[in-house]
Structure 1
Amino acid sequence: MVRIRLKRIGKKHRPIYHIIVADSRSPRDGRFIEKLGIYNPNSNPSIITLNIDNSISWMIKGAKPTNTVNSIFKKNGVLLKKHLLNGVKKGALTKEECYKKFNEWNVKNKN
């Protein structure tokens, strides 16, 4: 099973995490398939850089995020965009409406 999870890097007591796609059988800091972003909890507020499109494509392919990664995705709108794209696939929305709703949410939540 493929998981989207955190890989710990950084110094002692100063962790930084890579958000990666990996086989669930590989060790935490071991081999991975693709790097999706970086999560730095040391700063206030925490710094998150994320490739949203690649994250969504892996979730559509069946990769399951861990609880922590799921909360990071929720905070950055990955789950919302995936939900809207499923609506486009089912015919409930057009692509333009999907991107418009996501951009409105993004502007509202970045302030």
Structure 2
Amino acid sequence: MSVKIRLKRIGRKHKPIYHIVVSDSRSPRDGKFIEKLGTYNPHIDPPSIVLKMENSVSWLMRGAQPTDTVRSIFSKNGVLLKKHLLEGVKKGALTIEECQKKFDTWYKKYKI
């Protein structure tokens, strides 16, 4: 079974809000899903993004493939960086403390 991390559309007509969900790639866009990872509201300035960081990283480490839009959201929120650093820990290039320190410095620099 191929697992995707993608957007599930909810909300009114012309005012969509999206849930970021993990689902089977064969299920329809607004169909059944495995787990909800967060929400994305593009209609406010700046867009509102609420994520469960640890669950998102966990699914990426298990091999779930994000869609292009979700990949962009994850990149802006540091989920892909966290996954990259944890891969380095798994291979022995970093310790968990170094990983957390690098992520914290990135978070302070690029997140408000």
Relative to the length of structure 1, the TM-score reads 0.98
- Partners of 1:86 and 1:24 in 2: CA distance: 25
Question: What is the CA-CA distance between 1:67 and the residue it aligns to?
Answer: 0.3
Alignment match, 2:98: 97
Question: What is the CA-CA distance between 1:47 and the residue it aligns to?
Answer: 0.4
- Partners of 1:61 and 1:82 in 2: CA distance: 11
- Partners of 2:110 and 2:15 in 1: CA distance: 28
Is the aligned partner of 1:15 residue 2:40?
A: no
SS of 1:75's equivalent?
helix
Q: How does 1:1-111 map to 2 (within 5 A)?
A: 1-111=2-112
Question: What is the CA-CA distance between 1:59 and the residue it aligns to?
Answer: 1.0
Question: What is the CA-CA distance between 1:60 and the residue it aligns to?
Answer: 1.2
Where does the alignment leave 5 or more consecutive residues of structure 1 unmatched?
Answer: none
Moved over 4 A (4+): none
Report the count of equivalent residues: 111
Question: What is the CA-CA distance between 1:61 and the residue it aligns to?
Answer: 1.1
Q: CA RMSD in A?
A: 0.6
Relative to the length of structure 2, the TM-score reads 0.97
